[in-house]
Chain A
Amino acid sequence: MDFLDIYLNLFTVSLVQGAIFAFPALAVMIPFRMLGLPDLTSEGAFPFGAAIAATFTVAGFGPVLSLSAAVLFGFVVGAATALIHLYLRVPSLLAGIIVLTMLFSINIRVMGKPNTALFDNDSIFTLALDADGGEPLTQFALILALVLVFLAVFYWFLNTELGMALRCVGANQAMSRAQGIPTHYYIVAGIAMAGGFSAFGGAVMAQHQAYADVNMGVGVLIVGLAATILGETLVGRSTLIRQLVAPVVGSLAYFQVVAVALALGLKPSDLKLLTGLFVLTTLSIPIVLQARLPVRTGSRSRR
């Protein structure tokens, strides 16, 4: 009974969390799956988006402009990672770590302090719902609507000539060059878009909790990865739509799993360990299966 009570209390809040984290989850999926280039920038772009949005909001730009600014600046940091990777020949993972590390200092510079309270400012929630920012369920509906709009636009883009070329670069760079596609530009654009998604998520998070903090990015990456993998397990990735929907479904599912874990009495501080173990398990399943079965192709080389 206790368990059910706690879970029901957490249910709607977890829906909201899941919807917000759909953005950084998409930001993890895009480089990882669509560009074949694992990237960690979203861990830094998330709090950066929050810091930018908070600063713009405090400066009086209003919630919508603040969100837009976060997306733009998110593009910039994503592009920075890609440029470091492509032109300074730094491995993409390291490039992302460098950028996200530098963003910590930048975030504090942007806000002038490690955190910014937005309790007295309007947010998209106070604008669209009511002065208190609405109930969790209506908040969830609003964020989910935003997610779907982003997804629809992104899906349309991926089907344009430009978007098809972008996917082509992700699938086969040599062939893309031979087809006249300047691959560098597309990689920069793709990672930039991922940065924009993550920063937008951070900005929505800041508006939702009326608070931006330099440390709010910690763990975003692993949550995004877990969400992507979980989502792909649930809906697959056989078509473009499934691939795009997977991180969203995965993020929603992930936070429900977290709610269950908390309701079962686990401490919030245990969650990172569990998430890590979950990602590890999912990633290792194919390898463990391969090692157990006497595979035809593998046996020859082992002997």
Chain B
Amino acid sequence: MSVRVHGASKVFSPGTPNEKTALKQVDFALEDGEFAVVIGSNGAGKSTLLNALAGEVPIDSGEILIDGRDVGSEPVYKRARLISRVFQDPMLGTAPELSIEENLAVAARRGRRKTFRLGLNRRNREYFRERISILGLGLESRLSEKVRSLSGGQRQSLTLIMAALLAPRLMLLDEHTSALDPRAAELVLKLTSDVVTGEAITTLMVTHNMQHALRFGSRLFMMHEGGIVLDAAAEEKSGLTVNDLVGRFHVTDDKMLLG
């Protein structure tokens, strides 16, 4: 088991009228290389779960074990050695003032000690060129351009390459295609699937789109009111339809159906 979450709970603003239980005794474990998709209506706790795993939101109780080590109390930057992340907002995953190759160079040192060595040299440039050419977007000939000039889809693709660059123990994808136009979203999803399954990266992907949830991944979690109410492994998942999910669970949110 590379990732195990045990009894993770989180209450926001406890003891106030705004008290909100975001995570309620969440338990699950992911095998090495497993690609799990998380769905659920707004406020179900999907984002909180990802933020808790990444370290942006500290959990109140429970454990987050990666390769058997509890990382639950570590700050974001320390967990980054094990966890990589693609955000919902394409602007969040890259540094716009840095060039494409500089962004890649930063990602190539994710969670590693930084030194006074030059961040870019002929060897890693060559490697970055090779990695980025997988995208087929022509970015390999624009390595020294600032990321500011890239479109949302290009940025998300770059972020994905960056997230996979150092083979993380866990990759978190937070509705990472929802801010893209349908064509770009399709492209990034296909790339996600290629990278994640090609390199057997343990992945947790949150999506609002049920078709995507059924099409991608080897496992499906549905969250409701802070807990996991459905955990469908590969065979069960492949038999599910959107109507099943609507019929059997608390899916009343239009955005999930239309998204």
Contact = CB atoms under 8 A, between A and B. Distances in A.
Interface of A: 157, 159-165, 167-168, 170-172, 174-183
B54 A167 contact: no
A186 to B, nearest CB: 9
A136 B93 CA distance: 50
Given A160-B118, A161-B116, A161-B117, A175 B97 contact: no
A177 B119 contact: no
A167 B97 contact: yes
Interface in B120-141: 120
Given A167-B95, A174-B87, A160 B115 contact: yes
A162 B116 contact: yes
Contacts of B24: none
Contacts of A167: 95, 97-98, 102
A198 to B, nearest CB: 23
Contacts of B85: 178
B28 interface: no
Interface string B72-94: 00011110110011010001111
Contacts of A177: 56, 75-77, 80
Contact of A161 (B95, B97, B115): B115
Contact of B119 (A161, A176, A181): A161
Contacts of B195: none
A179 B81 CA distance: 8
Contacts of A179: 80, 106-107, 109-111, 162
Interface residues of B, number: 36
B109 A161 contact: yes
A174 B120 contact: no
Contacts of A171: 95-98
A228 to B, nearest CB: 16
7 contacts: A160-B116, A161-B105, A168-B103, A174-B87, A177-B56, A179-B80, A182-B75
Contacts of B250: none
Given A179-B106, A180-B111, A164 B92 contact: no
Nearest to B102: A164
B54 A178 contact: yes
Contact of B118 (A159, A178, A183): A159
A165 B76 contact: no
Given A164-B114, A175-B87, A177-B80, 19 more contacts: A157-B116, A160-B116, A161-B109, A161-B114, A161-B116, A165-B106, A170-B97, A171-B98, A172-B91, A172-B94, A172-B95, A175-B92, A175-B94, A176-B77, A176-B95, A177-B76, A179-B110, A179-B111, A182-B77
Contacts of A162: 114-116
Contacts of B109: 161, 165, 179-180
A163 B87 CA distance: 24
B112 interface: yes
Contacts of B78: 180
A165 B77 CA distance: 12
A92 B167 CA distance: 37
